Structures are given as structure tokens and as C-alpha cells.
């Protein structure tokens, strides 16, 4: 009964009284307090904020992914879980919790295909890291040959200068990943080699400057590209203005010509109408003269075809008088 009284009394007392109450109820073998699991401060971070891409076999982004993931682990002091540092022996609860956190980051930043590839028995962050790096860095020597050829034959084509420079930088990064880094002078000389012919003058300047770096060469070509674009805009503007002026001039000339033609046509029709009236009047008078009795004899005109193909008028012949001693001729 005294025990029950003590339990009732410790309900409002301090934690020490609570511990005494549990000891009286369950014995000394039961711990007085159970510590909650330690919560890591970085266990709930957004891993996409530190590693914004997913590693994939066909994405060609291993170099960027590796750099971002190493930076994430270094930020929270967890590089020892992936760089080959020996784990503590025996393993501690804190180390296991940290390793689980790094593995969770790995699972969240790789594709399903990569995730299936790295799955193994008794996984650790170090095992996963070794599997990923060995898979993406395999066959370095054969890959270096093909990557070198792709780097040396890269051309601008329809790309802008900025896009062309990015493609060349990616090609150089692929060579670096297989152990064939490209130095900056080679990058500078390879950049004008594949540029379009319209940048030939700027390319000659870049190639002749031994102090030029890759960034400076890219800036020079970008400036030339901007100037060419502005010149093209100016030429198009002048051509458009000239076309508008020619169109307006042709419209004005066409209206004037149509007015002049219309006036000439009206004048010609008026003259034809007036000539027809005069011809009618003259024809009427000729009819009156012809009906007066045939006092005047008509003269016949005879035509013959000459040697030149034209019609020649012969002399007008008068009808002969009858011969009293001979026949009529």
C-alpha cells in the first residue's frame, strides 16, 4: 500500500521521483529513462538542392554528378563514407546512421537502371560508390581514342558561338574523365578550327595570339558574331526601305499612265465619231449627184500587176467612136 501511495505521490514530482517510482514498480533492472534515437541535422535536407541531376547510363553526366555528390558529402563531413576511409571497428551506431544517410542520398540521385546495377548484399555507401565509379570509368583506353576523334572533328555547323563553345567544353571533359585531359592551348587552337568561315578573320587573330585563353577566344568570336548580326539587320532594313519606295513609285506611275491612256482613248473615240458623221454627209451628197441623170460618164481605171509585185495604174482610156467604114472596135 505504501508503494501505491508513493506512485500516486510522484505524479506531480520531478524526474528523479519518477525514476524512483519505476524502480519500485519494475525493479532495478529496468532503466529509468530511454534515450530517443539521435536525429542527424542533415537527415532531412533536400538532396536535389545539392545534386540537381540524376545519374544515368545514357545521360553522359557522370562527371557533374560525381562533383556535386562529393561536394554534398564534404559539406556535412561524410566524405569518409565514400573515399575509402576504413570504418570504425566495431561499428558504432552513429557511423551506421551516417552511412545510411549517404546511401539514401545515392538512391535519390541515380536512375532506376543505375540503382538496379549497384544493389548488393550488405550494402554500404562505399560499395555503392565503387560500383558506380568502376562502371562509368571502365574501358578508358578505347573510349579515349573515340573521344579524341570526336573532339578534334567537332564543328560549329548551325550552332551559335556560345553553344559551340559548350559542346567543345563537354568533349574536353569527357576526355578528362578517361584520363586524357586537354590543356588550354589545345582548346584555344581547336576552337577556331571548327568555326564557320565567316569568322575566319577573328580566327586568324586568335591563332596568332599566344597569350589567348579559351574564355578569351570564345569572347572574341561572340563579339564578332554580334557584329555580323547587327550588320545583317542593317542590310535587311535598307533593302526593305528601298522595296517600299519602289512599290510606292510604281503605284503612282501606274495611276498616271492609266489616266493618260484613258484620256487618249476618249479623244480617239471622239475623233472617230466625228469622222463618221462627216463621211455620212459626203456620201449623201454623192448620191444626189449620181441621181441627176448620169450626165457625166464614169471613167474606168484599169490596174495591172507589175514585175515588182505592186499594182500599177494604166492610162485612162476613152471609149472609141464607131468607124463608118469598118466594124466597131
Tell me the three state secondary structure of residue 160: coil
Of the candidates 78, 23, 24, 73, the one whose C-alpha atom is nearest the C-alpha of residue 50 is 73
What does the pLDDT read at residue 263?
61
What does the pLDDT read at residue 111?
94
| Cα 90 → chain centroid | 58
Is residue 88 a contact partner of residue 117, using CB atoms and an 8 Å limit?
Answer: no
What does the pLDDT read at residue 281?
54
Q: What are phi and psi of 158, to 5 degrees?
A: -90, 5
What are 304's strand-pairing partners?
Answer: 312
Residues 6+ apart with CB under 8 A from 220: 202, 205, 206, 212
Residue 171's region, left for phi above 0, alpha for psi from -120 to 50, else beta, is: alpha
pTM of the full predicted structure? Answer: 0.54
Of the candidates 25, 31, 75, 19, the one whose C-alpha atom is nearest the C-alpha of residue 51 is 75
What does the pLDDT read at residue 306?
44
| Cα 306 → chain centroid | 84
Residues 6+ apart with CB under 8 A from 37: 97
- Number of residues written out for the chain: 329
For the segment 138-183, what is each residue's pLDDT rounded down to a tens digit?
888 888 999 999 999 999 999 999 999 999 999 998 898 888 999 9
Residues 6+ apart with CB under 8 A from 258: none
Q: How far apart are CA 76 and CA 101, in angstroms?
A: 11
Tell me the three state secondary structure of residue 312: strand
Query: Can you list the residues of the chain whose pLDDT is less than 70?
Result: 1-39, 246-266, 268-269, 271-329
Q: How far apart are CA 51 and CA 40, in angstroms?
A: 19
| Residue indicated by cell numbers 505504501 | 2
Is residue 79 a contact partner of residue 71, using CB atoms and an 8 Å limit?
Answer: no
Amino acid at each position: 500500500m505504501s508503494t501505491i501511495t508513493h506512485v500516486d505521490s510522484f505524479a506531480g514530482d520531478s524526474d528523479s521521483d519518477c525514476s524512483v517510482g519505476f524502480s519500485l514498480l519494475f525493479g532495478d533492472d529496468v532503466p529509468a529513462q530511454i534515450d530517443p534515437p539521435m536525429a542527424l541535422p542533415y537527415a532531412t535536407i533536400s538532396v536535389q538542392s545539392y545534386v540537381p541531376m540524376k545519374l544515368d547510363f545514357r545521360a553522359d553526366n557522370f562527371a557533374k554528378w560525381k562533383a556535386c555528390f562529393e561536394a554534398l558529402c564534404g559539406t556535412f563531413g561524410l566524405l569518409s563514407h565514400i573515399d575509402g576511409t576504413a570504418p570504425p571497428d566495431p561499428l558504432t551506431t552513429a557511423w551506421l546512421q551516417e552511412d545510411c544517410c549517404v546511401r539514401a542520398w545515392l538512391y535519390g540521385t541515380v536512375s532506376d537502371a543505375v540503382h538496379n546495377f549497384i544493389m548488393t548484399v550488405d550494402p554500404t555507401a562505399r560499395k555503392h560508390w565503387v560500383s558506380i565509379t568502376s562502371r562509368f570509368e571502365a574501358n578508358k583506353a578505347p573510349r579515349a581514342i573515340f573521344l579524341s576523334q570526336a573532339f578534334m572533328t567537332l564543328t560549329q555547323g548551325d550552332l551559335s558561338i556560345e553553344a559551340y563553345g559548350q559542346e567543345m567544353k563537354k568533349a574536353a571533359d569527357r576526355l578528362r574523365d578517361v584520363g586524357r585531359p586537354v590543356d588550354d592551348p589545345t582548346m584555344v587552337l581547336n576552337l577556331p578550327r571548327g568555326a564557320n568561315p565567316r569568322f575566319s578573320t577573328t580566327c586568324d587573330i586568335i591563332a596568332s595570339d599566344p597569350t589567348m585563353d579559351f574564355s578569351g577566344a570564345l569572347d572574341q568570336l561572340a563579339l564578332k558574331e554580334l557584329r555580323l548580326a547587327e550588320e545583317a539587320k542593317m542590310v535587311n532594313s535598307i533593302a526593305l526601305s528601298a522595296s517600299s519606295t519602289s512599290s510606292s513609285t510604281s503605284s503612282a506611275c501606274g495611276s498616271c499612265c492609266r489616266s493618260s491612256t484613258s484620256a487618249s482613248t476618249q479623244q480617239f473615240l471622239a475623233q472617230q465619231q466625228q469622222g463618221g458623221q462627216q463621211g455620212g454627209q459626203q456620201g449623201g451628197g454623192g448620191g444626189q449627184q449620181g441621181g441627176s441623170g448620169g450626165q457625166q460618164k464614169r471613167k474606168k481605171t484599169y490596174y495591172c500587176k507589175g514585175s515588182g509585185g505592186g499594182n500599177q495604174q494604166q492610162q485612162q482610156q476613152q471609149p472609141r467612136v464607131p468607124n463608118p467604114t469598118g466594124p466597131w472596135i
